[in-house]
Amino acid sequence: MKPYNILISGGGTGGHIYPALAIANEIKLRYPDANFLFVGAKDRMEMEKVPQAGYDIKGLWISGFQRKLTLDNVSFPFKLTSSLLKARNIINNFKPDVVIGTGGFASGPTLIMAQRKGIPTLIQEQNSFPGITNKLLGKKVDKICVAYDNLERFFPVDKIIKTGNPVRQDLLYIHTKVDQGKSHFKLDHKKQTILVLGGSLGARRINQLIEENLDFFKTQGVQIIWQCGKLYFDEYKKHNDLDFVQVHEFINTMDLAYAATDIIISRSGASSVSELCIVGKPVVFIPSPNVAEDHQTKNAKSIADQHGAILLKETDLDTFAIVFETLLKDKGKQAHLAENIKELALPGATNAIVNEIEKLLNS
């Protein structure tokens, strides 16, 4: 029997790329001879991150359609036509046995052309509110793996399988890496450590919040691992001069960062929420208000309603110091949040998704 050819498309943000890589890694464990090819959008972060993970990738000339009139919108029809043609060529040459989409601009043309050729397709929707690409694709794909309930509003009910979101498998064992993590980041083992995450590109308002409260953090005697994001590193790297702060553009060893940390401040994109449930540490979620249907707030609220995290909206950040100091001094509250968020984890998500992909391959 010839090795399977697996085509995966997803990108734009870490929230689409890391689930795609987790799925690929699990398929590779089961089928070491399988051939993999990723399809991404040119000039987006997947063109760098996927090869770093050991997989080949091809780029499409594609971007999103803006709701307001822009030059990008004028070129959108040309980009879409170009991407559909290139996706067709990629599929004709690679001859995939299954095509998997994890969201992002490139997955649209790729899965559309796969559907037209009758190749089995599956999408993995991370959010409680799907993006436009997956909503369109959902009508014709064979299976839709989701992480939240009540997505029948958007997808055919007979195609939905609730699996959870794929997470990096190295996060399952962070409790064994606490000392290693603290040593890796050169932390004082006696101080509480705060991890600040704004997503792979960064979060302007969270970065501003941390900068505004540096004196507050110093008086609290904590140390900070601050992932400010690619867009903001040049602006905030000056704070590396402080002995209790380390500013990172990006953190490649997230398992060690999580292991070393006592409290986490984070956006609430779907992949981040899924990871933080696995990690099981106290979290203050500050959702981005600039996303479709305010889905980050919904993601965070689903955890906060179960007493698994603190939800602090951007409009309420004037209360941050009071909320945070209370949490910092209440070890019982920290333990309670950690225990509750851990109970919401779906650690078998990657396995469950690949089980569904296997069914498509075997059919």
Annotated binding site: 13-15, 127, 168, 200, 251, 296
Alpha helices by DSSP H, listed for 190-330, are 204-212, 214-220, 233-236, 254-260, 270-279, 295-304, 320-329
Joined tokens for residue 318: 């004037």
Q: For residues 123 and 139, what is the distance between their CA atoms, to the nearest angstrom?
A: 11
Q: Where are the beta strands (DSSP E) in the chain?
A: 5-9, 35-41, 57-60, 98-101, 121-125, 143-146, 160-162, 193-197, 223-227, 245-248, 263-266, 283-285, 310-311
> Cβ of 132: how many Cβ atoms within 10 Å?
11
Q: For residue 126, which of 285, 15, 289 has the smallest C-alpha distance?
A: 15
Binding-site residue positions for UDP-N-acetyl-alpha-D-glucosamine:
13-15, 127, 168, 200, 251, 296
Q: For residue 234, which of 202, 267, 264, 199 has the smallest C-alpha distance?
A: 202
CA 217 to chain centre: 27
- What letter does residue 318 receive in the DSSP assignment? G
CA 228 to chain centre: 16
Radius of gyration of the chain (CA): 21
Residue 347 and residue 278 in contact, taking contact as beta carbons nearer than 8 Å? yes
**What is the full DSSP assignment across 33-86?**
T-EEEEEEETTSTHHHHHHHTT--EEEE---PPPSS--HHHHHHHHHHHHHHHH
Q: For residue 61, which of 48, 49, 72, 71 has the smallest C-alpha distance?
A: 72
